[in-house]
């Protein structure tokens, strides 16, 4: 490594003046057939909602292609698909909701296939760096059982990565700390 990376600093409490935008929580075009809502709450170590969190997601489309493949294969052909969502209200209540489509399986290490998943970055005041987690889907038990990443997570903690079907969409709560602490990853 020739240069050191620029260090991370907290997003602070006032990011809403610069980062969120009106349709930022849409990873697909409004009205896309099969669109789903994934919602949840980010909790701190006391079980209190974190009102000043910023959440970002990145994912493939149902055919397993990303909006920008950087030349690693064909990009998504789903009209209006960005695969990226950003949530963070000026006066947040700790909840988030993204609108997206369920991703398809994508390749993993050593010829494996990964179960449908969404990468998530969580930022907040009080967080000096982002925390990265993944949303998997509880209604994909077979694909999840074969997933090369989930299999490295202690079994008793895997449930923290599963979005549960709820109200026609999915629910995925994030616990930064505590007995239900979400699994976070080193990328």
Partner 1 sequence: MTTDTPTSYARERDGAHPPLNYEPYKSTALRHPKQPLIYLPQTVTEITGPQLGALRTLGEFADDLTRQHDGEPIGERIVVSGHVYDTEGKPLAGTLVEVWQANAAGRYLHRWDRWPAPLDPNFSGAGRCVTDAEGRYSFTTIQPGPYPWGNHYNAWRPAHIHFSLLGRAFAQRLITQMYFPGDPFFEFDPIFNSVRDAKARERMISRFSIEDTVPSWAAAYHFDIYLRGPGATPFEEAH
Q: Which of residues 121-180 bind partner 1 (CB under 8 A)?
A: 121, 123-132, 134, 148-149, 152-153, 157, 176-177
Cβ atoms of residues 54 and 87 within 8 Å: yes
Q: Which two tokens stand for residue 76?
A: 């998504």
| Binding flag, residue 30, partner 1 (CB under 8 A) | no
Question: Cα(175)–Cα(179) distance, rounded to whole angstroms?
Answer: 9
Which residue has 């000026």 as its token pair? 90
Residue from 26, 28, 38, 50 in contact with partner 1 (CB under 8 A): 50
| Binding flag, residue 22, partner 1 (CB under 8 A) | no
Residue from 10, 29, 104, 162 in contact with partner 1 (CB under 8 A): 10
Question: Cα(135)–Cα(104) distance, rounded to whole angstroms?
Answer: 13
Nearer to partner 1, 51 or 166 (CB): 51
- Residues near partner 1 (CB under 8 A), total: 77
Alpha-carbon Rg for the chain in angstroms? 16
Sites for partner 1 among residues 62-81 (CB under 8 A) = 66-73
Element holding 137 (H helix, E strand)? strand 131-137
Q: Give the angle subtended at the CA of 21 by the CAs of 19 and 25, to the nearest 5°.
A: 105
Question: Cα(13)–Cα(136) distance, rounded to whole angstroms?
Answer: 29
Which residue has 């974190």 as its token pair? 50
Least CB distance from residue 60 to partner 1, whole Å? Answer: 7
Nearer to partner 1, 17 or 30 (CB): 17
Nearer to partner 1, 39 or 116 (CB): 116
Nearer to partner 1, 16 or 166 (CB): 16
Least CB distance from residue 167 to partner 1, whole Å? Answer: 27
| Binding flag, residue 1, partner 1 (CB under 8 A) | yes
Which residue has 């009080």 as its token pair? 126
Residue from 22, 79, 110, 142 in contact with partner 1 (CB under 8 A): 110
């Amino acid at each position: 490594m020739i240069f050191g990376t620029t260090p991370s600093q907290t997003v602070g409490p006032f990011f809403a003046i610069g980062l969120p935008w009106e349709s930022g929580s849409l990873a697909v075009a409004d009205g896309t057939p099969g669109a789903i809502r994934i919602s949840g709450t980010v909790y701190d170590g006391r079980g209190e909602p974190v009102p000043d969190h910023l959440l970002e997601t990145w994912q493939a489309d149902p055919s397993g292609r990303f909006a920008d493949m950087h030349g690693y294969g064909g990009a998504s052909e789903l009209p209006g698909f960005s695969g990226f969502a950003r949530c963070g209200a000026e006066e947040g209540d700790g909840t988030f909701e993204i609108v997206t489509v369920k991703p398809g399986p994508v390749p993993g290490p050593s010829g494996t296939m990964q179960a449908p998943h969404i990468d998530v970055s969580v930022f907040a005041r009080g967080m000096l760096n982002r925390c990265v987690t993944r949303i998997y889907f509880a209604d994909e038990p077979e694909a999840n059982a074969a997933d090369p990443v989930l299999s490295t997570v202690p079994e008793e903690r895997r449930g923290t990565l599963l979005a549960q079907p709820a109200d026609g969409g999915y629910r995925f709560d994030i616990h930064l700390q505590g007995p239900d602490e979400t699994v976070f990853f080193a990328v």
